[in-house]
Structure 1
Amino acid sequence: MESLIVLISGTATGIVAGLFGVGGSFLLVPLLSITTSIPMELIVGSCACQVLGPATAASLSFRQRRRDLRIPFILMGGIIAGTLWGSASLNQLKEQIGSNADSLSNIVQITYLVLLWSLGLFSLWESMLHKRGKLIPIGWARLKWLRPVCEVFGRNRRHQVSIISLSWFGVFVGFLSGFIGLSGGVILLPGLHYAYGIPTKRAARMSMLLVWLIAIQATVIHATYQRVDLQTVVVLLLGGTLGAKLGVQLSERMSGGALRQHFAWLLLITAAVLSIYSLTK
């Protein structure tokens, strides 16, 4: 029964991965912690590992442009450093807590709740403004005065973006990946669009490529700490890879505004379910 739950969860998050260019672990970690008896540290490590399946399938389905590869590879330096930092922090926290597994689970779930509610409410607010023809300022983190810089393609023209700003954004994403098993896409997609002014669909392509790169190095790091359960990963990979291909096909039929609105509702529904569970357990 538990394997069936894991398979269904993997398929659902695979669809989400292909649809929004995210890894889906922001859904898997709380979902598996609620519905299975797998220890939290194994859930975090296994979910970071399973992202390889849907990320590979979705990346191959997306049409990657050569000019879109520059930003992901700049971000990766900060992401690698951040993942090492986050994973080491999780291991240190586990040692401090000791045998109290519930405390570790609560810390991870609270971090998820804050993140999901914040991103979901902001994305929904922005999508409602977009429907009314009102656009919020985007690209505020470009910081082109902070040298060195590189070029990115915005809605209508090229923009200069600080490489230092991109690198620190990567550190933040990497820390969340290492600490709570987040694939990073749930931060990357809105971050690349709102903070750096990259169009939604192009941001989704960049995000999925980065999620794939993050999953490779996160798998190695979590395996080093022996936080990967192979049986769980195999079942998740099977469902996630199939679901990702379906998600990419659905994504091609939607506009950028519609994608952002559906993404916002997905975050809020996930946050609401997790909040209800936390209050009633």
Structure 2
Amino acid sequence: MELLTPDILAVFSGALIGLTLGLIGGGGSILAVPLLVYVVGIGSTHLAIGTSAFAVAVNAAFGLAMHARAHTVKWPCASVFAGAGIAGAALGAWAGKMVDGDMLLALFGLLMTGIGASMFLRKSDGGNPDVHLDRGSAPQLLPPLAGAGLGVGALSGFFGIGGGFLIVPGLITVTAMPILNAVGSSLVSVTVFGLTTSTSYALSGLVDWRIAAFLIGGGAVGAFLGQRLAARLSGEKQLLSKIFAVFVIAVGLYVIAQGVATLL
């Protein structure tokens, strides 16, 4: 199979996303759509969203398998959050396809700046490692878990993002679980939301499977390198997260400017 320039750029983009995920544990998928539009050169925002949603879902599934082996996934909480979010993701994907591509890109930039700011200001804490969903805790945990899952799923579907940076704080807020458990549990939703969104876009012919494959391959290499680098820079993880947050804000402002300029 002959490699084309977009294929190589897709591998590079996937590696950058995977490197970020491996290095700081989240947020890398927010870069997928801008990278596909501005680096790989996919001309349609909707095609970029559908393609990135599938690639993010596959990479999240690999990450989930690793967290499951490490027993950091709180399956009952994760399942309720993801289950409620399926309907939201399907509805969000349907709504996103109805919005003009340039407007969607500008709105995506606004989301990026907001997420970047929240990542920059977020502080880590110990959390409650013993929290679990059972018959006794269900009256307190089920309603907020389902409500948060529905809302985050809708945003994930609308913008074609994994949503880990929304799911993680959502799980922590609702259950007070430690961040390590929240990251592992969030991958259930990232996988499910991504597959729901990409299925909706694929039915409309809005997934570039070739580019998605190269994006996934690059992501696997980047994640491996990121995890190795993270072990060496473990003491600087908080600083790296803040640097990445500033980068996300800067890219978000650029995306907003590009989207608005096209609309005008």
TM norm structure 2: 0.79
Whole-angstrom CA distance in 2 between matches of 1:24 and 1:237: 13
Matched, 1:73 2:79: yes
1:166-181 equivalent positions in 2, closer than 5 A = 166-181=145-160
Matched, 1:46 2:19: no
* Paired position in structure 1 for 2:96: 90
Matched, 1:271 2:255: no
Identify which of 251, 254, 262 aligns with 2:234. Answer: 254
Query: RMSD value over aligned CA atoms?
Result: 2.9
Query: Residues 69 and 206 of structure 1 are in contact (CA less than 8 Å); yes or no, is this contact kept in structure 2?
Result: yes
Identify which of 184, 192, 201 aligns with 2:171. Answer: 192
* Paired position in structure 2 for 1:10: 14
Whole-angstrom CA distance in 2 between matches of 1:13 and 1:184: 14
Identity within the alignment, %: 25
Residue 125 (structure 1) shift = 2.7
Instruction: Give per-residue Cα distances to partners, 1:14-68, cap 9 Å, x unaligned.
Output: 2223344447332011222223143111111010011133213322333442761
Shift of the 66–182 alpha-carbon distance from structure 1 to 2, 3 Å rule, reads: closer
Whole-angstrom CA distance in 2 between matches of 1:48 and 1:205: 19
**Matching residue's letter, 1:56:** A
Query: Residues 96 and 104 of structure 2 are in contact (CA less than 8 Å); yes or no, is this contact kept in structure 1?
Result: no
* Paired position in structure 2 for 1:61: 66
Whole-angstrom CA distance in 1 between matches of 2:23 and 2:90: 28
How many aligned positions are there? 248
Residue 274 (structure 1) shift = 2.8
Query: Residues 49 and 159 of structure 2 are in contact (CA less than 8 Å); yes or no, is this contact kept in structure 1?
Result: yes
Shift of the 67–20 alpha-carbon distance from structure 1 to 2, 3 Å rule, reads: same
Shift of the 72–156 alpha-carbon distance from structure 1 to 2, 3 Å rule, reads: closer
1:218-229 equivalent positions in 2, closer than 5 A = 218-229=197-208
Whole-angstrom CA distance in 2 between matches of 1:71 and 1:249: 30
* Paired position in structure 1 for 2:121: 125
Matched, 1:107 2:103: yes
TM norm structure 1: 0.75
* Paired position in structure 2 for 1:163: 142
**Matching residue's letter, 2:216:** L
Whole-angstrom CA distance in 2 between matches of 1:280 and 1:180: 20
- Indicate the larger mover: 51-60 or 248-257: 248-257
Shift of the 57–244 alpha-carbon distance from structure 1 to 2, 3 Å rule, reads: farther
| SS of residue in 2 equivalent to 1:52 | helix
Identify unmatched segments of 5+ residues in structure 1: 95-103, 136-152
Show structure 1 runs of 4+ deviating over 6 A.
Answer: none
Whole-angstrom CA distance in 2 between matches of 1:240 and 1:67: 22
Identify the structure with the greater helix proportion. Answer: 2
* Paired position in structure 2 for 1:34: 38
- Indicate the larger mover: 156-165 or 47-56: 156-165
| SS of residue in 1 equivalent to 2:176 | coil
Identify which of 124, 127, 152 aligns with 1:154. Answer: 127
